Amino acid sequence: MADLSQFNVTNDSSIQIEEKKTLERVEYFLYSIIIPTVCILGFLGNILNVVVFTKKKAYKALDEMEYCTTICLVALAISDLMFCICTFPNAFLPHRYHYHRNEFMLYYQMYNTSIISTFILNSTLLTVLTAIMRYVAICHPFRSRQLFSLRKTITLIIALFIFSILFNVPYTLKYWVKKLECTGKQEYVGYVLLQYSDLFLDDNFVYVYKLLWAIIGNFIPLAILLYCNICLIRALHKSQMLHLLHSRDNMGCVSAHKRINTGCSERLWDIFRLDVVKDYGIFSDWIERYGSNDVFPDSGRTDSIARLKLEA
């Protein structure tokens, strides 16, 4: 019995070791390959977005609403670009908590969560702002000029960025630095140890803060985006149906015009033929009345015309 229990303990420990190795491989693949690749592609893509949108603003005549939307898209591209730049060093972050006080990774470890979360929230809010502007421009075109202007758009972009910074200020207090005191070991002089602050050791604060982040950063933007996109889809569907009805009406009008023009042409041709016959009758009467060898030396032609009149 003791040997069986010892075998079970050994088996469980081996399973835990395999699971730990699997998690380490997944973590390595995620943080060392996928995230850097996504950051590089996002960096290049957002640079292209900034170039395209700024050229569009410079070389194309835009009205005020299009100009406001373009500025909002440029701000969104810059925010995503900064997110990619700030996330990329995560691939090289060492798995330790002791750093030299002059080491870059010390300060990156302390403040990267706050900076990255700031740009994530800012990009989310700018996406919502762009969706609202498109919704108002398409579904309420007459009110869009009153609600949005160039100055209001720039003010909203700055306000959203400041709100994102303030909302993520608690993440700057996540760690505190403790000086390492290693007597007799010269290689550890100047090193510090990162530890969680008392604020983030409080489970209630962490729960409430993460709940607020989920509501403000995820659920509310998702609800607004769903509403705006559903309204846009309905408006575009109605516009397409109206376009089809208008096209059918135009085709009906064209057919009616064709029928009217054809009938008018046939009627005009009948009138023209009647006028020709009438003129021919008058002309033949004139020949009958005034036709003679003095007027028309060729009496044979006069006789043939007279015969045509009699046959008619």
Quick: pLDDT tens for 176-205.
888 776 655 555 667 788 888 888 999 999
- Top CATH class of 13-237 equals mainly alpha
**Could you tell me the CA-to-CA distances from 20 to 7, 29, 97, 98, 173 in Å, in that order?**
20, 14, 20, 23, 30
Least confident of 71-80, 252-261, 282-291: 282-291
**Tokens 């064709």, located at residue:** 258
Beta carbons within 10 angstroms of residue 25's beta carbon:
10
* Position 28 pLDDT exceeds 60: yes
The winner for highest mean pLDDT among 149-163, 251-265, 273-287 is 149-163
Tokens at residue 28, please? 């390595």
Residue type, 302: T
Quick one: pLDDT at residue 145? 77
- Packing angle, helices 64-87 and 35-59, rounded to 10: 160
* Position 173 pLDDT exceeds 80: yes
Tokens at residue 116, please? 């990255």
Tokens at residue 66, please? 């299009």
> DSSP string spanning 154-221?
HHHHHHHHHHHHHHTGGGGGSEEEEE---TT-GGGTTEEEEEE-HHHH-HHHHHHHHHHHHIIIIIHH
Using pLDDT thresholds of 50, 70 and 90, give the confidence band for residue 122.
very high
Domain ranges of the chain: 13-237, 262-311
Closest CA to 84 of 113, 119, 129, 111: 119
Mean pLDDT of 267-289: 45
Q: Are strands 175-179 and 98-100 parallel, antiparallel or unpaired?
A: unpaired
Using pLDDT thresholds of 50, 70 and 90, give the confidence band for residue 147.
confident
* Position 276 pLDDT exceeds 70: no
> How long, in residues, is the chain?
312
Burial track 199-226 (b if 16+ CB lie within 10 A, e otherwise): ebeeeeeeeebeeebeebbeeebeebbe
Quick one: pLDDT at residue 280? 46
Tokens at residue 310, please? 């009699």
Tokens at residue 152, please? 């209001």
Quick: pLDDT tens for 203-235.
999 999 999 999 999 999 999 999 999 998 988
Residues 292/264, Cβ–Cβ less than 8 Å: no
Tell me which of 260 and 60 has the higher pLDDT: 60
Residues 6+ apart with CB under 8 A from 187: none
What's 99's DSSP letter? E
3-state secondary structure of 100: strand
Quick one: pLDDT at residue 106? 87
Closest CA to 54 of 69, 71, 78: 71
Mean pLDDT of 251-263: 52
